[in-house]
Amino acid sequence: MSYIMHVEPRSSYLYITVTGENSLDTVSRYLSEIHDWCLQQNCPNVLLVENLSGPGLRTSSIYELISGKSAQSARVVGRMAYVDINPAHDLGEMKFAENVAVNRGISVRVFATVQEAEAWLERPE
């Protein structure tokens, strides 16, 4: 088992939780799966709550992953609110990922809590 993903359609976004092992492969696979869910549900907005075990990804891996997926995702994902609930993961790395994504045209924000993420998604663009 590398990860388990649960998807709950809400009124204006998909509420997605991911648990499992933290690896470049896991993150790449679940991001592709989120893309497919957005298409299938015709819902461009996502609240992603991640709880992956193990150390965070390296900065270079984050950069390569987001750079590789951004062209595909920018056409499908409108806004993504991201909450990493594993306290061992560095919020600074997640902010780096946010900056890389935003610089490639994806509206992503990293939040400390689900409540903050929900408030951002529920605000009009």
From the list 34, 42, 27, 43, the residue with the least C-alpha distance to 7 is: 34
Tens digit of each residue's pLDDT (9 = 90 or more) over 71-93:
777 778 889 999 999 988 888 88
Going along the chain from its start, the domains and CATH numbers come out as 3-122 (3.30.750.24)
pLDDT tens, position by position, 8-46: 999 999 999 999 999 999 999 999 999 999 999 999 999
Which phi and psi angles does 25 have, rounded to 5°? -65, -45
Residue 120 or residue 105, greater confidence: 120
> Residue 1 above 80 pLDDT?
no
Residues in contact with 51: Cβ distance below 8 Å, sequence separation at least 6, in sequence order = 17, 18, 19, 84, 85, 86
More confident residue, 106 or 52: 52
What is the mean predicted confidence (pLDDT) over 53-67?
A: 89
